[in-house]
Structure 1
């Protein structure tokens, strides 16, 4: 996610139709999957007892009425015997749930818990399929689910919670799955999403578009965008398809009117080449972007095709493309690990691109920033290792790049760049944590980094000068 700092400173129903008995998940019941996975910030996110392998979402959406009618199939494998299990879902009313094509009891509890009780308990190690049918009017938000566009279109965006607003999911970074979307809209509208567009057909008054994400993805990195888009298609030299879409007023946004065509026509392939030099081969089949014209205060790294707000500039594009490695292909284990996402995206966009493409003296940039905030305790008061719930998207943007530049100068370029490349490539399509990053980097340098990491990541005050000005940063 790239924040725009101009806006932001720092009762159940049986499926056959009869009344259902309650189906609450009981944490003391050994046959009940847990209703949350205990993330320190969002303990009710995700669910235990199974792993999802694929989501297949089929929906129709009517822009004038905001009416959604959908059916989602979840392919999963039970990791324990299950009498009951949960999904995360906060969308419109549910009409039916089946498990392995048999009617299931269901209940909706708390903020986003969908409790499902199969007719036949599930056995550990065996695959099963859940189908959930639902329909109703969706509600617009300012960035935690559905967002309405000026044209009357809509898209889904938000971190960490947006997926459960439009399909039921095991909403945790720890349970990645592949994803397919089939979306039907009035024929004059277009549908964008991540991954590969596998079909686009018009029949009568309707258009149906199908998209596939073949590499595993976590919930907030999936999206649907419905608008009267204009498209830009390109191909990299290696054949990777680049497809971007522009909402009606996206190219007219004042801040980017003269820059955006240049960014996409000439620099998007160059940005991908640049990132590959740093972090290894691009991890997905396709690339591009979804450029909206809604007054949104963030852009978001939705997998393979980020969502870009109207204030998007080149720096934002570099930031979100970096996330395709740091955040998308390799995802956090817990939300306290968010520095792995935002510190690297910010450092790449704010330091590495200007240094390598424009010849900027980033050591001087670092010293100027440190001097500016040297005696400002508020600048240093939110730890990078564990920012805290509600603060996870703060210091990682402004302290994160300083931390990585200081780490680079401590290790030296010959050690730093291979280490970060090997770390992110070693966790391709998986998850990683900040403690794992610390341990790994220590194995790649003879310098004892324990004091450095404590000063930069754990403490809530300014690092001592020996850690603040390492290597060439010493005056």
Structure 2
């Protein structure tokens, strides 16, 4: 995700601050605190135990695939949905939950048999199957529902979930919540699954989503169904649907990966920026390894929302998005999408790296001397830049310092361990955890193993603390003054 007010580090102009404000604080203890491992959710629990969003997700099953079918009438804004979820029980289930915001459920089947259901809280759909499900059993759940979708909430960076476009169309976007505003899901990054969408809209409208496009089915009733399928596992907030009068550009990357980009009415001027996507992905692949997604492209909405988002394989861009934002969101295809967070405390694994990708682009394409840029930023930084942790920053603070302090921390790490080890980390980490989840503490261990040195004090200074690092960590290697 790229926040509208996240200042691009390459063009930071920071007010000068007094030397006293920049004075290094006493060093922190050398060893980072041991993280508390997340509790395993009990079968049937209404959350997976992430301390930031304890009611997100559900216990007792692991989803392998979503097949979402919707019909949407832009004039009335009414959605009718029929979603089938394939999952495996991780415990004995006499009941289980799905997450769904609003929308009226009309019927639920489990294993082809009618199941009882009820609603509790803001988003819990409690399902009681006709017969208990034994641990290890694969089962399907079908939910039929409808209504006028609503945004899930006002998040740190703006509205999460279903949003109405100025054209009269609609789109779904938000982090950490968006999927459950239009289909039932196990809404946690820990439960990645394949995703297929059949979306039926009146003729004249069209649909963009994740993954690979299949030919639309044109009915004789004035409606057309569009088909999209993402064969790679995907976390729920990275799924999307866009309903509008899109203009499509279709091509392929050099390796044959399909590239589909869509432009809402009024957004066609973004074609020049998007035309550089093959170049951007080739550059990012040179840093991070082969492109890990099944498809590529972009969704350009003509909306002044507060963020652009790395929806898998096909990011959503606000009307203000520019080339650095396209670099940022596509870096997420490795860091954040292919390798997803284990918990929201780990968000630096997404945003710090996507932000540093912008630095790497400027270094390679614009000739920026990153050490000089780093020193200017460090020497002119206001106190608030240092007053925020990059790991386990606390609920509500996920999308703050990761955009400015985050890339600085990674550049300092690069100078601490040297380019050879750092370049290995950039490629080997996403390869090791491809299509999975990982945590920040795991990353620290990985880096120390790759570099062959104890970096505990460095990680404490930069990632576990909310004070300015001592000079020995602030100016390592070639950064030394």
Contact 2:42 2:59 in 1 (8 A): no
Match for residue 462 of structure 2?
456
Match for residue 49 of structure 1?
60
* 1:202 counterpart = 2:218: yes
* 1:465 counterpart = 2:465: no
User: What's the offset of the Cα at 1:91?
Assistant: 3.3
In structure 1, distance between residues paired with 2:413 and 2:128: 50
Contact 1:45 1:171 in 2 (8 A): yes
In structure 1, distance between residues paired with 2:393 and 2:251: 39
User: What's the offset of the Cα at 1:112?
Assistant: 1.0
How big is each residue's C-alpha offset from its partner over 1:344-363, in whole Å with a ceiling of 9 and x where there is no partner?
000001x1000011111111
Match for residue 271 of structure 2?
261
Contact 1:31 1:84 in 2 (8 A): no
Q: Which one of 400, 406, 412 corresponds to residue 412 of structure 2?
A: 406
How big is each residue's C-alpha offset from its partner over 1:415-456, in whole Å with a ceiling of 9 and x where there is no partner?
101122101110000000000000010011134211100000
Contact 1:91 1:167 in 2 (8 A): no
Match for residue 132 of structure 1?
143
In structure 2, distance between residues paired with 1:199 and 1:105: 36
User: What's the offset of the Cα at 1:6?
Assistant: 7.8
In structure 1, distance between residues paired with 2:392 and 2:367: 34
Structure 1 ranges of 4+ moved more than 2 A: 139-143, 260-265
How big is each residue's C-alpha offset from its partner over 1:26-62, in whole Å with a ceiling of 9 and x where there is no partner?
xxxx995111111010011111111111100111000
Matches within 5 A, 1:271-282: 271-282=280-291
Deviates more, 1:53-62 or 1:234-243: 234-243
- Unaligned 5+ runs, structure 1: 9-29, 252-256
| TM-score for both structures, normalised by structure 1 | 0.91
In structure 1, distance between residues paired with 2:225 and 2:114: 28
Give the paired residue count: 444
- Unaligned 5+ runs, structure 2: 9-40
- CA 7–201 in structure 1, closer or farther in 2 if over 3 Å, else same: farther
Contact 1:330 1:429 in 2 (8 A): yes
Q: Secondary structure at the match of 1:392?
A: coil
Match for residue 334 of structure 1?
343
| TM-score for both structures, normalised by structure 2 | 0.90
* 1:371 counterpart = 2:379: yes
Deviates more, 1:336-345 or 1:110-119: 110-119
In structure 2, distance between residues paired with 1:96 and 1:446: 57
User: What's the offset of the Cα at 1:312?
Assistant: 0.8
How big is each residue's C-alpha offset from its partner over 1:197-218, in whole Å with a ceiling of 9 and x where there is no partner?
1121222311100100000001
Match for residue 80 of structure 1?
91
How big is each residue's C-alpha offset from its partner over 1:74-119, in whole Å with a ceiling of 9 and x where there is no partner?
0111111111111111131000111111111111111211110011
Contact 2:43 2:61 in 1 (8 A): no
Match for residue 32 of structure 2?
none
User: Which structure is higher in RCO with an 8 Å CA cutoff and minimum separation 6?
Assistant: 2
Match for residue 21 of structure 1?
none
How big is each residue's C-alpha offset from its partner over 1:168-209, in whole Å with a ceiling of 9 and x where there is no partner?
111111111001100000010010001001121222311100
Matches within 5 A, 1:150-165: 150-165=166-181
Match for residue 36 of structure 2?
none
Contact 1:31 1:81 in 2 (8 A): no
User: What's the offset of the Cα at 1:7?
Assistant: 11
Match for residue 120 of structure 2?
109
How big is each residue's C-alpha offset from its partner over 1:311-345, in whole Å with a ceiling of 9 and x where there is no partner?
01000000000000000000000000000000000
Contact 1:7 1:297 in 2 (8 A): no
Matches within 5 A, 1:73-472: 73-140=84-151, 143-204=159-220, 205-251=222-268, 257=269, 260-265=270-275, 267-349=276-358, 351-373=359-381, 376-472=382-478
In structure 2, distance between residues paired with 1:396 and 1:145: 23
User: What's the offset of the Cα at 1:263?
Assistant: 2.4
How big is each residue's C-alpha offset from its partner over 1:200-244, in whole Å with a ceiling of 9 and x where there is no partner?
122231110010000000100000000001111122222111110
| Aligned-CA RMSD value | 1.7
In structure 1, distance between residues paired with 2:191 and 2:471: 41
In structure 2, distance between residues paired with 1:390 and 1:32: 28
- CA 7–342 in structure 1, closer or farther in 2 if over 3 Å, else same: closer
